[in-house]
Amino acid sequence: MRIVLATHNPHKVSEFGQIVAATRSDLTVVGYDGPEPVEDGVTFEQNALLKARAASAHTGLPALADDSGIAVDVLGGSPGVFSAYWAGQRKDDVANRDLLLDQLRDIADPHRAARYVSVIALVAPDGREWTVRGEWPGRLAQAPAGSGGFGYDPVFVPDGQDAPERTVGEYDDAEKQSQSHRARAFVALVPLLAEL
């Protein structure tokens, strides 16, 4: 089955491709080169649906779209849907991380709880729609570590690790893909794909 992934973000295409390949060998994910809708939703669900609807309408194929970000408890769930633009409209990963760390500079480790959130929307050409959510709990490190991943990975320390704890920036791709918020959301999505 062919399905379009509604993103122009090459990091997400690569990450999602690895997750899909490990889970569904009968699913062929094709890239999306159509117009991007304005992401003016105020939830991950709303933005994921906006993107999936646009991609399905443009290609005539079932479409998947992910909207994701990091939610920090002490900031009331922010940056949330604004994660990619936290430091401004340039989508600058380093500036976003630096601003977030600066905002939390006086917050002690026990109060730095955070979670990665991924919502995946699936939209069929006939108009049927589904969303699923995956969350990866953890906390924010005091400083970046590791050069892997992207976005907030070098400052996110997942829960449940053996010592010494590492940021996702210190994970290899396979380790990240097996545990990530997107992988968790995709597990919830697999049964829905059968409905196509």
pLDDT for the residue 3: 87
pLDDT for residue 65 is more than 90: yes
Share of the chain above pLDDT 70, in %: 100
pLDDT for the residue 125: 95
pLDDT for residue 21 is more than 80: no
- Spot the catalytic one: 66, 67, 93, 153: 67
Mean pLDDT score, 116-123: 97
Active site residue 106: no
Highest averaged pLDDT of the listed ranges 2-6, 33-37, 42-46, 87-91: 42-46
pLDDT for the residue 20: 72
Domains and CATH numbers, the chain: 2-193 (3.90.950.10)
- Tokens 């918020």 — which residue? 181
pLDDT for the residue 146: 95
List the 63-72 sheet strands across, edge first: 28-30, 2-5, 63-72, 113-123, 129-140, 156-158
168 vs 11, higher pLDDT = 168
Backbone angles phi, psi at 65, to 5 degrees: -145, 140
| Chain centroid, CA 11 distance in Å | 10
